A and B are shown apart, each in its own frame.
Chain A
Amino acid sequence: MEKKKTGRAGLFLEGLRDGVPIGLGYLAVAFSLGIMAKKVGLSAFQGFFVSFLCNASAGEYAGFTQIAADATYFEMALSMLVANARYLLMSAALSQRLDPAMPFRHRFLIAYDVTDELFGINIARPGYLAPAYTYGAMIVALAGWSTGTMFGVIAGSLLPVRAVSAFSVALYGMFIAVIVPPARKEKKIGGIVAVSFLCSYLASVLPGVKEIAEGTRIIILTVVLASLAAILFPRKAEDTEPGVPETEAAV
């Protein structure tokens, strides 16, 4: 470990350094998101903007599904709310780690890029959050995520068919990597994931249900199944703090 720099500049550099592996991982995954963006008719510039503004893999995926389904703006907003509900939870958890005296301008900026990975490295640090550190990591992560999406839109059409087919599962691979470790650790979550798979499959084949747009099906299934889980397996407040994602460290 190099000598410990102090002050805001040191914290900022530290953030930049910790942001590099995250940014590189983002670059690769965002690429497959770009392929999807291209499929639903977005330009490279639009793809860049979606990722720059949203910073959410599952959320953007859900959004693209809505665009493909010619959804109303209300359906779009609702699906973004549901697909990104975990960030609500993460921000709520993160709010407990901010200095009560922290000026609002910092709160507004930090909120911009609360993602699984950035939440992970922020919450892993002791004490109150240091904004300079967060900003350092954010810059690298944002750059990787938004340019990755842009490259996906551009290169998606230049890549051979085989490569596009292979890349198109990257995002799902990432989703799987987020849900499996907690499902392994906790049987209830494993059961909930299995039931979700099953219901989602049934909803895609059952007459009368399969006609509902995919994006809307996702919203309905999520609200219904998560509500049932909350009723059947209520959690104590101290058990609902999202932990540090185990998948974060080595991205």
Chain B
Amino acid sequence: MRGNTWIYIAVMGAVCYLIRVLPLTLIRKKITNTFINSFLYYVPYVTLAVMTFPAIIHATNSVWSGAAALILGLIVAYFGFDLFKTAVSCCLIVFVLELFIVKV
């Protein structure tokens, strides 16, 4: 059942804030548990990877342009281009490729 959009938004905002404010107000010492430290350390990489693929391939009008964006993004980021330039490269290749392979 679909919930109320404003309640969804409130939940999102509340969790986002709590996650940030609790460490800043409560933690005065260093975390020493190795598992927790390691887990927290790996979480961003895993979750961003899982969210990116295969979703990126289905985000565009053609799986080919999505796949091209993924590959180009990986290459461009590998060579050290920043967040913004990588994002723009992905957008551009989708736009250019779809001029040829997608009829609108």
Co-complex (A, B): yes
Q: Which residues of A are in contact with B by a Cβ distance under 8 Å?
A: 24-25, 28-29, 32, 41-42, 46, 49-50, 53-56, 58-63, 66-67, 70-73, 76-77, 80-92, 94-96, 98, 100, 104, 107-108, 110-112, 114, 117, 160-163, 165-184, 189, 192-193, 196-197, 199-201, 204, 214, 217-218, 221-222, 225-227, 229-231, 233-237, 239-240, 242, 246-251
Q: List 18 A-B contacts (CB under 8 A).
A: A58-B51, A62-B47, A63-B12, A73-B7, A76-B8, A82-B43, A85-B44, A165-B95, A168-B94, A178-B48, A179-B45, A199-B50, A221-B50, A229-B46, A230-B35, A237-B34, A239-B41, A240-B41
Q: A166-B98, A176-B74, A221-B46 are in contact. List 15 more A-B contacts (CB 8 A).
A: A53-B13, A55-B16, A70-B2, A77-B15, A85-B43, A87-B20, A90-B20, A94-B23, A95-B28, A166-B60, A173-B69, A174-B84, A192-B42, A230-B42, A234-B35
Q: Is the CB of B98 within 8 A of A236?
A: no
B interface residues, Cβ below 8 angstroms from A: 1-3, 5-9, 11-17, 19-25, 27-28, 30-32, 34-35, 37-56, 59-61, 65-66, 69-70, 73-74, 76-78, 80-92, 94-95, 98-99, 102, 104
Q: Chain B interface mostly helix, strand, loop or mixed?
A: helix
Residue from B23, B38, B83, B88 with most neighbouring chain A CB atoms (10 Å): B83
Closest chain-A Cβ to B38's Cβ sits at a distance in Å of 4
Whether B3 lies near A184 (C-beta < 8 A) is no
Q: A95-B27, A200-B49 are in contact. Are A29 and B87 (CB under 8 A)?
A: yes
Task: Kindly list chain B residues whose C-beta atoms are within 8 Å of the C-beta of A196.
Answer: 45-46, 49-50, 53
Residue on B nearest A168 in the bound complex, by CB: B59
Contact of B53 among A29, A163, A183, A200 (CB under 8 A): A200
> Smallest CB–CB gap between A56 and chain B, Å?
6
User: Which has the most chain B C-beta neighbours within 10 Å: A29, A41, A88, A214?
Assistant: A88
* Distance of A50 Cα from B88 Cα, bound (Å): 23
Measured in the bound complex, the distance between the Cα atoms of B25 and A6 in whole Å is 27
Whether A166 contacts B92 in the complex (CB less than 8 A), given A111-B17, A229-B42, comes out as: yes
Interface pairs A-B: 5 shortest CB-CB: A53-B13, A173-B90, A173-B87, A180-B77, A196-B49
Using A58-B48, A98-B24, A237-B31 as known contacts, say yes or no to A229 and B38 having CB atoms under 8 A apart.
yes
Cross-chain pair count, CB within 8 angstroms: 329
Question: Which B residues are in CB contact (< 8 Å) with A54?
Answer: 12-13, 16
The smallest C-beta distance from A182 to any residue of chain B, in angstroms, reads 7
Which of B23, B32, B84 is close to A95, meaning CB atoms less than 8 Å apart? Answer: B23
Instruction: Collect the chain B residues with CB atoms within 8 Å of residue A192's CB.
Output: 42, 45-46, 49
Whole-angstrom distance between the Cβ of A203 and the nearest chain B Cβ:
8
Q: How far is the CA of A42 from the CA of B5 in the complex (A)?
A: 8
Contact B94 A226 (CB under 8 A): no
Q: Which residues of B sit under 8 angstroms from A72, Cβ to Cβ?
A: 3
Bound CA span A127–B85, Å = 31
Question: CA separation between A117 and B5, bound complex, in Å?
Answer: 28
Residues of A close to B3: CB separation below 8 A:
67, 70-73, 76
Which of A41, A179, A204, A227 has the most chain B CB within a 10 Å cutoff? A179
